[in-house]
Amino acid sequence: MSLACLPARVRLVDVSPRDGLQNERQPVPTEVKIELVHRLQAAGLREIEVTSYVSPKWVPQMADNRAVMAGLQRQPGVRYAVLVPNLKGLEAALADRPDEIVVFGAASEAFSQRNINCSIAESIERFAPVVEQARAAGVAVRGAISCAVGCPYEGEVAPARVGEVARRFKAIGVQRVDVADTIGVGTPRKVQRALEAVLAHYDLDHVSGHFHDTYGQALANTLAALQLGVWNFQSSVGGLGGCPYARGATGNVATEDVVYLLHGLGLDTGIDLEALAETGAWISERLGRPSGSRAGRALLARRAVACGANGGGQR
């Protein structure tokens, strides 16, 4: 594979504070969520999905959204995004000054009905006033297209349906879109077809990949997207997160693993991989589990061995 066909740089959005933590059964303390954001930005992340403004009835883990946003020590050049489901959520979010809001739509009718109890067309039309008001307030808007490759209820999703969601997003003013393999069933060519359908409506600078690793294909799918020129991706430190509506879906691809791949390809991320691995281990320990990042675990294990070897002869 020639590196000449790959983008020169890559931008990552770490979604662990929101997508990674939202389905944790035990409450995660507000101060831990805030520190996670601070550690991510210290490691070099310049886009972070912080929280959501969904009703606490449905997502109790995000009930402290305002406290989390208020506690951030914001850094210049870092974009702080939040997910909003409707106008009420937007109104609450705007008071906390996000740089970007995220709206969402599925490429599967069955998933849309089970997730938010309406059709794809209805779901996106409901977001039209949300997008309008956000942009009027000077807040950027990103749209997430879930089930862009496969659906837990319908099976394989046709690329044309993914393109139709992108077209509808574009029509209501969404500025950039995420192509999400929500249940992690994608393979490289299927992912490329979904991305190509979206690229008929958005340019390369405004399309991103969001891959889950259920079948161990997330890094291969990332490389497949890079080969198309896509240079924006979402990932989650420690591989945290999943989808409560998609049975069997494992976590997002780990940010550490993606960065290890990108650095191996000679691509610029601006991210300190060692600091990122430490962050993945730290938040995983707070959640009572090992990090889901293979690269993160390997890097820290190698460092521990090196420290042991260096210190073994000292008295």
pLDDT digits (tens, 9 = 90+) for 87-99: 999 999 999 999 9
Predicted pLDDT at 314? 43
pLDDT digits (tens, 9 = 90+) for 122-149: 999 999 999 999 999 999 999 999 999 9
Regions of the chain with pLDDT less than 50: 1, 312-315
243 is catalytic: yes
Give residue 313's pLDDT. 46
Angle 294-311/255-264 helices, nearest 10 degrees? Answer: 80
pTM (two decimals): 0.93
Q: Give the pLDDT of residue 5.
A: 80
Note the pLDDT of residue 248: 56
Name the active-site residue from 118, 147, 151, 243. 243
